[in-house]
Amino acid sequence: LKLSPQAKPHAFFKPIMPTMEDELVLPDGFSYDVLAAYGDVINEKGDTFGFNCDFTVFFPIDGSNERGLLWVNLEYINDDYMKEQYMPSFMQNTPIDTKRRYHQGGAVIEVFKDSKGTWKMDTSSKYARRINGFTEFDIVGPAKGSSLVGGATKAIGTWANCSGGMTLWNTLLSCEENFETQARRSNLPSEHYGWVIEVDPFDENDEKFKPRKHTALGRFNHENTCMGITKSGRFAVYMGDDKQNACVYKYISSGKFDPAKGKANSKLLEDGTLYVANLGAGRWVKLDAAEVAKRVHASNFSVPSVLKMRDQTVQSLREMFPANATQAHVMVNTHEAAIILGGTPTDRPEDLEINPFDNSIFIAHTNNAVHGNIHGHITRIFEKEDDFESMEFMFEIFAAGGRQSGFSAPDNLTFDSNANLWVVTDMSESNIGKGVYEWHGNNGLFVLPTHGQNEGEAFQFASGPQGCELTGPWFTADEKALFLAVQHPTTNWPRRKGDVDPLPAVVAIKGFKGNNLDKGNKSNG
């Protein structure tokens, strides 16, 4: 990939100003089409699109940039929206918990650009379907069948699917984030949630490629995954634990990625090593069960302050990690193991993405009001020798939120082929437009060059409707369309004919000239 040192993102769009307008505001020359909103029918069976759309991935059909499957995470459901009008006919008059389980998880929809250039959903799709609180998953990896998951080899349902990632073998990873309340509310075993799930959008019956939960990636408040091939041919998966004072992780597969094996590479997510970042030392620390047990059972063990804040005691941690603790203990209680081994507590790590230009890794640390980081920051990690398998790294604060940069509460990230980092923001609804957040207007989408003369500067590309956060930005391969989810708008967006409530919806943004975004030509070389 060649990058012009003069790259200026605002050469391809005129940045917008922060605004409180109740609309998805875009720069001159750009427009959007609503693809699917809460309650829309998605297939011939009559399934409907769920609530609070989040992460999106476009899976081209036959390599097309204009027809494909769009995976959409559906993070959680607000009980005020449990109206029969949003339910499929086969879900009418069901108990509220049944409706809740139906309307979150994820959706596969088929989308295409019609002859007039409008992006639409194709409800005749044979692939379109829902993955939700009723889908059966295989539990795979070190915790499968262990007493830590009640001996289970299967789990029913997925919850709190926030962000995720695409694998190198064209399947979908989706992350179970704030699962605790939802699992408890539906009386489900908590240990079956908090994992990274994998689904093949092209397996329309979910039979050839059984949906699975990958316990080797650990159990915590998973935000997203990003995957890169190491110099030895293995792969690394970077992940954040989105809670206050929580850690950044990386998984390295034991085996090597073999493109010829296609989806069978999924097995590589069952056997590998999980590490946690110690930012002070610039080292990745292996999450080793024997080492955790040794520390917890030492006579001088004292509870780290971060775990004290979560009401852990010497006794509770010794029960969590018995003297003969196995990897299953570590995979089920990953945050506790990580802190005990010296993982650095950070300010709510949300998305991580790999820069396609130089393999540096970007982390959205959204905020941590407890110690005054009210606007958050974006951290950049440089692995030693640019190898994802390195055990040592350097890091910098790439950009800080606030009035100077223009953004606050960075959340989901994506890269374009010119190494511009696209960042959506998630100021909480109760903060938007108030106090120190007033200057920022509604939540938005920002473009930050990672090289060249504007490195680290933020240019605002979009502003969302009132109350919403923008989530899940994802480009088509030709970069002529950008998918984006508008989550929890509160007033009356998207105002289509017949809409009576504000509705979470996923859109396609048009007006891009294609790769490279600022030069109008291809730069892959």
Query: Which residues lie near Ca ion (CB under 5 A)?
Result: 350, 411, 426
Indicate which single residue of 350, 383, 457, 518 sits in contact with ligand FEO (rule: CB under 6 A).
350
- Given ligand FEO, Ca ion, none, residue 241, with its beta carbon under 5 to 8 Å by kind, binds none
347 binds ligand FEO (CB under 6 A): no
Residues 272-311 contacting ligand FEO, CB under 6 A: none
- Given ligand FEO, Ca ion, none, residue 110, with its beta carbon under 5 to 8 Å by kind, binds none
Q: Nearest distance from residue 336's CB to ligand FEO, in Å?
A: 20
Q: How far is it, in rounded angstroms, from Cα 20 to Cα 18?
A: 7
Q: How far is it, in rounded angstroms, from Cα 55 to Cα 424?
A: 12
- Given Ca ion, ligand FEO, none, residue 191, with its beta carbon under 5 to 8 Å by kind, binds none
Q: Nearest distance from residue 223's CB to Ca ion, in Å?
A: 6
Please, what sign has the CA dihedral across residues 143, 146, 149, 152? positive
Residues 468-507 contacting ligand FEO, CB under 6 A: none
Report yes or no: 227 and 167 within 8 Å, Cβ to Cβ: yes
3-state secondary structure 256-310: CCCHHHHHHHHHHHCCEEEEEEECCCCEEEECCHHHHHHHHCCCCCCCCHHHHCC
Q: Which is nearer to ligand FEO, 64 or 490 (CB)?
A: 490
- Given ligand FEO, Ca ion, none, residue 25, with its beta carbon under 5 to 8 Å by kind, binds none
353 binds ligand FEO (CB under 6 A): no
242 binds ligand FEO (CB under 6 A): yes
Q: How far is it, in rounded angstroms, from Cα 150 to Cα 243?
A: 26
**CB-count exposure of residue 490 (10 Å: 0-12, 13-18, 19+):** middle
Q: Which is nearer to ligand FEO, 9 or 157 (CB)?
A: 157
Please, what sign has the CA dihedral across residues 112, 118, 119, 121? negative
Q: Nearest distance from residue 199's CB to Ca ion, in Å?
A: 19
> Which helix or strand (DSSP H or E) is residue 179 part of?
helix 179-185
Q: Which is nearer to ligand FEO, 160 or 341 (CB)?
A: 160
Q: How far is it, in rounded angstroms, from Cα 324 to Cα 33?
A: 56
Q: Among 61, 202, 62, which Cα is nearest to 127's?
A: 202
Instruction: Report the b/e string of 265-281 with b at 16+ CB within 10 A.
Output: bbebbbebbbbbbbbee
The conformation of residue 52, written as its DSSP 8-state character, comes to: S
Indicate which single residue of 22, 223, 336, 353 sits in contact with ligand FEO (rule: CB under 6 A).
223
The conformation of residue 470, written as its DSSP 8-state character, comes to: E
Q: How far is it, in rounded angstroms, from Cα 110 to Cα 72?
A: 11
Say which residue the tokens 């650009």 belong to: 113
Kindly report the number of other CB atoms within 10 A of residue 48's CB atom: 23
Residues 116-175 contacting ligand FEO, CB under 6 A: 162
Report yes or no: 22 and 29 within 8 Å, Cβ to Cβ: no
Q: Nearest distance from residue 239's CB to ligand FEO, in Å?
A: 12
Q: Nearest distance from residue 163's CB to Ca ion, in Å?
A: 5
User: How many alpha carbons fall within 13 Å on the CB side of residue 441?
Assistant: 18
Q: Which is nearer to ligand FEO, 246 or 268 (CB)?
A: 246
Q: Nearest distance from residue 196's CB to ligand FEO, in Å?
A: 14
Q: Which is nearer to Ca ion, 223 or 479 (CB)?
A: 223
Q: Which is nearer to ligand FEO, 110 or 223 (CB)?
A: 223
- Given ligand FEO, Ca ion, none, residue 479, with its beta carbon under 5 to 8 Å by kind, binds none
Q: Nearest distance from residue 54's CB to ligand FEO, in Å?
A: 6
70 to 89: interface string for ligand FEO, x by CB under 6 A: -----x--------------
Q: Which is nearer to ligand FEO, 162 or 341 (CB)?
A: 162
Indicate which single residue of 22, 47, 176, 177 sits in contact with ligand FEO (rule: CB under 6 A).
177
Q: Nearest distance from residue 76's CB to ligand FEO, in Å?
A: 8
User: For the chain, how far is it from start to end, CA to CA, in angstroms?
Assistant: 5
Report yes or no: 176 and 239 within 8 Å, Cβ to Cβ: no
Kindly report the number of other CB atoms within 10 A of residue 163's CB atom: 29
Verify cis geometry, omega within 30 degrees of 0, for the bond prior to 494: yes
Q: Nearest distance from residue 249's CB to ligand FEO, in Å?
A: 15
Q: Which is nearer to Ca ion, 47 or 469 (CB)?
A: 469
- Given ligand FEO, Ca ion, none, residue 177, with its beta carbon under 5 to 8 Å by kind, binds ligand FEO
Q: How far is it, in rounded angstroms, from Cα 329 to Cα 218?
A: 10
Q: Nearest distance from residue 369's CB to ligand FEO, in Å?
A: 15
Q: Which is nearer to Ca ion, 383 or 426 (CB)?
A: 426
Q: Which is nearer to ligand FEO, 191 or 350 (CB)?
A: 350
Report yes or no: 213 and 146 within 8 Å, Cβ to Cβ: no
Report yes or no: 404 and 440 within 8 Å, Cβ to Cβ: no
Kindly list the strands in the beta sheet with 377-383, ordered across the sheet, starting from the edge strand earlier in the chain.
349-354, 361-365, 377-383, 393-400
Q: Nearest distance from residue 472's CB to Ca ion, in Å?
A: 9
Site of interaction with ligand FEO (CB under 6 A): 75, 162, 177, 223, 242, 350
